[in-house]
Every structure is written in C-alpha cells, then in structure tokens.
Structure 1
C-alpha cells in the first residue's frame, strides 16, 4: 500500500496548491504584459521629449521659458489696464503653456530627425509623419542595393512625390524611371522630386514634410485614391525585388553569376 501511494497521488494530477500557484503566475504574467503594452501618459511623454530635445538643443529651456513668459506678461499688462488682471493672468498662463508645448514639439521633431539623419531609410521615416491626405509606400519603389540609393513614393493632392536618398547624380536614373512609369500609368498627374540631404539642390530631412505640404493641390481626394490604385495595380514596375525583403541585406546569387 505504501509503495503504491506515491503513484496514485501522481495519477490524481496537480494539487489545489499547485493549481493556485499556476493561476497566480498566469495573472502576474497578464499584468506584466498589460504594463509593458501600456502607453506612457502625456506628462511622461513630454518629459521624454524634453530630455531628448535638450540633449540635441540645450537652448530649448530658454526658448520654452521665453515662450511661456511673453504671453503671461502680455496678459498681466492687459489685465491691469482693464482692471481684471486675474482673468487675463490665467489666460496668459494657459496661452504660455500652449506656446511652450508647441515649441517643444517642433524642436523635438527636429531632434528626432537629427538622430536618424544620414541613416538608410531616414526619408521613409520622415514620410511616415505625414498626416491625413497622403498615401505613402512603406517600402522603397526603387533601390540600388550596392550603393543603397533608394526612392520612396508618396501620393497626395499635390500629385506624386518621389523622395530620394543618395547623391543627386547617382539617383537620377532611378528618378527618371519612376517618373516615366508614373507618366505612363497616370498621365497628367504632377510628379515632384525631393532629394534628401544637406548638399546643393537637396532638402534637409526635417524640411521634407513641410516642402511637400507647400506644393499646390491639383488632385481631389477621389483622384488621389484612383492614382494610388492604378500605380499599385501595375506589378513589376516599382521595386525590382519582392516585397518584404530588406534591400540592404540582399546578397548576389553566386551560382547565377557563375552560370550554373
């Protein structure tokens, strides 16, 4: 009887204590996943942006302070003149905080672009900040793997915008092919080209979105969708590699090069 007791106990399955421990571990794991997926609050996000921006531009402290104090002083002066300084002071504080946050956001965006500038795919990351009204290809529409020159495409009411990475002279052929493709598939649609960089004839990364928004709007929202469908429906005219493959990790087929 004593020899069979351990076997019978094992055959009965886990004990209540073991089941409670498993449930407790599962609940703890769920809490940890929720905590990891939880987005930081607005104040924490502002703190993170401020820390990053200050490392890039230490003058942001004085800029924000000046942006805050000017509306406060103006509000206080107007309030004293109108004999209602409390209301105008509160209004000035609210406007000052808004101005300071706007300045932080703008400088923070520039700081974020500065961290990825000159890296492959930086132009695509800049296009990812576009708001409504634009359709952006997630992957380059043209690429030269050896030199890492790429062309990204965005479609909006101004038409088709080609954004390049690489020296202007080197990406000229890629741009020309993409321009011919767009003109063939969607004739009469304006094609704009932005060369990202700091050289002559190039646009700095943080100015790409602003430049695109400055173009004249020539298409309607429905025409934007139609142009995108026509360009996307034609296969084999864009990126010369299958989608989902990283062009920067491509390797030549050595057997094909040897003729085998």
Structure 2
C-alpha cells in the first residue's frame, strides 16, 4: 500500500502543476491570491494562539488551516478559469454538469435532444426535480425543450421541471453560474423518488429508441399500429 501511495504522489503533483499552469494563463493573479490567503489565515490562527497562551499548538493548527484555505481558494479559481475557457464551445454545459460537485447531487443524461444545428438539451435529475439544460440557439431550444417536457409528462407528470438556457443574454444563465444555479434550486423530492424518476425516464428513453422508425415519409392514409402508440 505504501508503494502505491509513493507512486501516486508524482502523478498528483503533476496534475496540480498542470492545473496551476492552466489557471495562470487565464487568472494571472492566482498565485498571489492563494499565497495571500495562506499567509493571512496562518497569521490569524497564530494570533489567536498567542491570545489564549498556546502559540505552538496554534502554529501547527494554523499551517493545516492555511493549507486547507489555499486549496479551497485555488480549486474555485481553477474551476472558474476552466469554465471561462470552455465558454462558447459545444458541450460546455454538460462538462459543468458532470463535475464532481454536481455528480453528488444530480444524475445527468447528456444530449437527450439535439438537431443538425448542434443545439442540444441535457437532462439533470436531483432532489429539486428535473432540469432541462439547453445550449445553442434560444429560439430553437425553446421548442426542443417544450417537446421534451411533453414527452416526459407521460411518465413524470407530478415532478417539478425547470428549464435553463445557457448563455449571457437576458433570461439565460452564464456557464460559470450554471453549477450554483442548479445547486440553489429548492429540494422537493426525497432520494427514493429521485431514483424512481430516473428509472422512469430511462425506461421511456429505451422505449422510444427501440420503436420502429419508418423509412421515408409515412403515407397520409396510413394509420399507426396500436403497438406503436405510447399510452
């Protein structure tokens, strides 16, 4: 086990170095900010230690707290830098939805609807209900989201459904705020119901994907067979 931890250390350090270099390209002050947070945090904890008469213990604790504070600040700034680089690129929204922080609270299904213009709709299911996240042209996305809501209404009519358009225009949610927007939604479903909703939607998706699709246009006088209808 010790050998494995030693072999993992260079890999982790390389990841941290690469993350710092990537963030530095977008956020030139990241090094100074993170270092400043560490120094200030250590100084505050050490000062408290002198006041209560335990400077040595406070110094040791200050180092740990300072490292933790620096890690949190660097993580947030690195994430913000990554989002700014992804902004405007196809699939950026789903990359945000599938971050580790989101995966703990949301089950994400990428590209539940798409068209030839690369407008896509992703679905996230969590304690708040169902969120349809669209990226692309707002006018085309609204009709796609409406169609997706109509389809889902057959199996989850009693579940709250939210729609989010990713962008910087009025009524849209910027990519860098997408994560916080979803995490702030009110929780209205118990965990057990979230699993049930996921199962229903997966079953609906499987059913629709397995339905036979006619080749070419359907004749006007031809009726759809009963087996092809969804009740």
TM-score bucket of the superposed structures, by smaller chain: 0.7 to 0.9
Deviation at 1:173?
Answer: 0.2
How far does the alpha carbon of each residue in 1:36-68 deviate from its partner, in whole angstroms, 9 at most, with x for none?
A: xx7953322222211111111011112101210
Deviation at 1:237?
Answer: 8.1
SS in 2 for 1:176: helix
Counting only pairs closer than 5 Å after superposition, residues 107-126 of structure 1 correspond to structure 2 as 107-126=77-96
Distance in 2, Cα, partners of 1:39 & 1:172: 48
Match of 1:201 in 2: 171
Out of 159, 179, 184, the position equivalent to 2:149 is 179
SS in 2 for 1:217: coil
Counting only pairs closer than 5 Å after superposition, residues 179-258 of structure 1 correspond to structure 2 as 179-235=149-205
SS in 2 for 1:141: strand
Out of 24, 30, 50, the position equivalent to 1:80 is 50
Distance in 1, Cα, partners of 2:183 & 2:59: 36
Out of 84, 87, 106, the position equivalent to 1:134 is 106
Distance in 2, Cα, partners of 1:48 & 1:182: 42
Deviation at 1:236?
Answer: 7.6
Out of 152, 158, 164, the position equivalent to 2:128 is 158
Please tell me the root mean square deviation across aligned C-alpha atoms, in Å. Answer: 2.6
Contact map agreement 2:97 2:103 (CA 8 A) in 1: no
Question: Given the two structures, how large is their TM-score scaled by the length of structure 2?
Answer: 0.80
Distance in 2, Cα, partners of 1:134 & 1:150: 19
Alignment gaps of 5+ in structure 2: 1-7, 210-215, 218-231
Contact map agreement 2:124 2:131 (CA 8 A) in 1: yes
Deviation at 1:107?
Answer: 0.8
**Would you say how many aligned residue pairs link Structure 1 and Structure 2?**
206
How far does the alpha carbon of each residue in 1:138-188 deviate from its partner, in whole angstroms, 9 at most, with x for none?
A: x3111111x211100011111111000023222110011111222222111
Distance in 2, Cα, partners of 1:39 & 1:73: 29
Instruction: Please say which of residues 72-81 and 214-223 is displaced more in the overlay.
Output: 72-81
Deviation at 1:83?
Answer: 2.8
Q: 1:71 to 1:238 in 2, by over 3 A?
A: farther
